[in-house]
Amino acid sequence: MPQSSKTHWQSLFRGEPVPDIPPPRSVEELVSRRRAPAPPALSEDEAARVLLHENVELGGLDGGLAAEIYQPRRPGPHPVLVYVHGGGWYTGSPSMDRRYCASIAAEGFLVVSVGYALAPEHPFPRALEDCVYGTRWTAKNAASYGGDPARMAIAGSSAGANLAAGTALVLHGSGPGTGVHGTFSTDVRGGDLAGLPVALSGLVLLFGLLDAHRWISDPRYYAGEPEITLAAYLGPNFSGRLRDPLVSPVHSPELHVLPATYVSCGDEDALLGDSLAMTGRLADADVPVTLSVVPNADHEFLKIPERVEGARAENERIVHWLRERLGLTDDRAIGGAP
């Protein structure tokens, strides 16, 4: 049963009780709640298996796009995973998911975690443009970090899953930003990498926010908060954009272009309906799709396997799926999933 507020998962995630906080009343108040905790250090075991490259400059539309890159400490070439962090489009950074990305890299994947520009300072579609650019940059430069750009996937969590799905739609579809006229109403700028082809072999959607219209209309969701968050991301007149396929990928008419997809969500997550709906739409579009609903798990559970029973096993399933999609045999794996 989905939780009625985010207090439950935030308390689990932080390892201490979190008080019920009233929803923000304005975009300014939402932004004032941004948290920038100190980036976690890698454990000795993670550091022994993974080389972390911090603040790697990618360039981007204004020259300020950066990423964290996690490189296995063994000879490549390694399959490549582009990772997109969550945070409701208005907060978060690659460093907040550092331990999670390192755990995947320790399994033999080159992981590139893109630090896209945040709303409201940079409203839609800027975050998506940064993710598209970062994925193209990765395809062009992965070999410099021991990666194999012919074996690439993209993953994202929460709002990052939204951006990961949108990125795959842009790169595999026929809309603006791909060089071919198509169905997208939003022009996605490509900067100096516009038109660079990228073939993704897999898409991983972790407790994704995939349907903005559902988020704002479903009474089980966090009343009052979606309106302010969407106003920050899309602007004050956001209602006309709720079903834009690059805002709500579940409504895309081009889902058939997506690669094989793994959808993961906890059964206590308020966004479970998004995962279920996306799975059905992908199946209808003949996209190979795997759905995993983990019992007694809430939002962000995969990143705290020490506190949520079933998280470790789910992480192992995701890694196994990525290995199969990207051609990483078990004998080349480095260690166990988190």
For residue range 272-283, list pLDDT tens digits in order: 999 999 999 999
Tokens of 181: 């006229």
- Give residue 265's pLDDT: 98
Identify whether 15 is part of a domain: no
Inside any domain, residue 33? no
Examine residue 24 and state whether it is found in any structural domain, yes or no. Answer: no
Q: What is the pLDDT of residues 294-318, one digit of tens each?
A: 999 999 999 999 999 999 999 999 9
Report yes or no on 13 lying in a domain.
Answer: no
**Under a CB-based contact definition with an 8 Å cutoff, are residues 235 and 123 in contact?**
yes
Which pLDDT score is estimated for 21?
80
Share of the chain above pLDDT 70, in %: 92
Q: What is the mean pLDDT of residues 114-126?
A: 97
Q: Does residue 90 fall inside a structural domain?
A: yes
Cα→Cα distances 177→53, 131, 185, 254, 328, Å: 29, 12, 11, 15, 31
**What is the domain range of residue 86?**
43-326
Q: What is the CATH number of the domain that holds 245?
A: 3.40.50.1820
**234 domain residue, yes or no:** yes
**Phi, psi torsion values for 292, nearest 5 degrees:** -130, 115
In this predicted model, what pLDDT tens digit does every residue of 187-207 receive, in sequence order?
Answer: 899 999 999 999 999 999 999
* 181 belongs to a structural domain: yes
pLDDT-based confidence at residue 330 (cuts at 50, 70, 90): low
- Region 79-85: what's the mean pLDDT? 98
In a domain, 5, yes or no: no
Q: Cα–Cα distance between 117 and 96 in angstroms, integer?
A: 15
Our count of domains for the chain comes to 1
Does residue 333 carry a pLDDT above 60? no
CA 189 from centre of chain: 20
Q: Is the pTM of this model over 0.75?
A: yes
Phi, psi angle pair for 266, to nearest 5°: -85, 150
